[in-house]
Amino acid sequence: MTDIREAKFAIGQVVRHRLFPFRGLIFDIDPTFANTEEWWLSIPEEIRPGKDQPFYHLYAENDETTYVAYVSEQNLLPDDNGRPLRHPEIKDHFVREGSGTYRRRVRTAN
């Protein structure tokens, strides 16, 4: 049995990819890999991450588009530049704080 590591990053944190030119906002975390085997095998073997680490769901963006990404912890770095993100789903779920961080939007039941 493998030990589950504590996640290095938190929901609402802005991160950037270590290898590819995109950044994003973490909106969910899986303690270990929880996607399909087909998805995992589609990653080139020389850069394929291990499955026994946290994986992060991101509202991601690059210079051209926005999308949802699923990224291993080993491939993320903190993004502290303070620039706002433009992904359209962020405003539905998060509020931007003055420091460049985000917190979950509070929802009230009717």
68-84 pLDDT, tens digit each: 999 999 999 999 888 99
Q: Which fold has domain 14-104?
A: SH3 type barrels. (2.30.30)
52-108 pLDDT, tens digit each: 999 999 999 999 999 999 999 999 999 988 899 999 999 999 999 877 789 998 876
Residue 23 contacts by C-beta under 8 Å, 6 or more apart in sequence? Answer: 14, 15, 16, 17, 60, 61, 62, 79, 85
> Considering the entire predicted model, what is its pTM?
0.90
Give the pLDDT score at 27: 97
20-40 pLDDT, tens digit each: 999 999 999 999 999 999 999
